[in-house]
């Protein structure tokens, strides 16, 4: 179905969205839960309600997946460009044996100074 063929409604159920977009309901739930790509409204009964803008977003996600072969992380970056991109994941910072943030920062500063001296 083409985007122009969508019947005008304020909200759509997950079954209607699945039929309109050709994306199975479990994939829509995956994109919402694990992928953090969708955030449909919910009824009091916790049923998902999709707006027309959500359907447009689903078509875009589907295009990114099928045509550009992007991963979930790449799709998130593509759809939300204001999110800062790190060249590598942030390191796990263990607690300093002394227990304080100041001690941890002091240790990091010393390591960085040692690396700088090595590079100079």
pTM assigned to the model: 0.62
9 phi and psi angles, rounded to 5 deg: -145, 160
User: Could you list the residue range(s) of the whole structural domain that residue 114 is in?
Assistant: 88-120
The CATH number for 65's domain is 1.10.1660.10
* Predicted pLDDT at 27: 94
Q: Domain total for the chain?
A: 2
Residues 48 and 75 in one domain: yes
Distance CA 4, CA 108 (A): 56
* Predicted pLDDT at 96: 47
User: Average pLDDT, whole number, for the chain?
Assistant: 81
Distance CA 17, CA 82 (A): 28
pLDDT averaged per 10 residues, the chain (length 120): 70 93 94 87 90 91 92 86 57 55 77 82
* Predicted pLDDT at 99: 58
Task: Print burial letters for 90-110: b (CB count within 10 Å at least 16), e (below 16).
Answer: eeeeeeeeeeeeeebeeeeee
């Amino acid at each position: 179905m083409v985007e122009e063929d969508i019947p005008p409604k304020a909200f759509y159920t997950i079954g209607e969205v699945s039929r309109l977009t050709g994306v199975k309901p479990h994939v829509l739930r995956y994109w919402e839960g694990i992928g953090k790509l969708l955030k449909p409204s919910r009824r009091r009964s916790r049923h998902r309600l999709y707006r027309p803008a959500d359907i447009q977003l689903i078509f875009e996600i589907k295009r990114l997946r099928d045509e550009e072969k992007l991963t979930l992380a790449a799709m998130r970056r593509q759809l939300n460009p204001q999110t800062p991109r790190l060249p590598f994941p942030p390191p796990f910072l263990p607690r300093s044996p002394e227990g304080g943030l100041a001690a941890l920062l002091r240790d990091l500063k010393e390591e960085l100074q040692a690396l700088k001296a090595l590079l100079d």
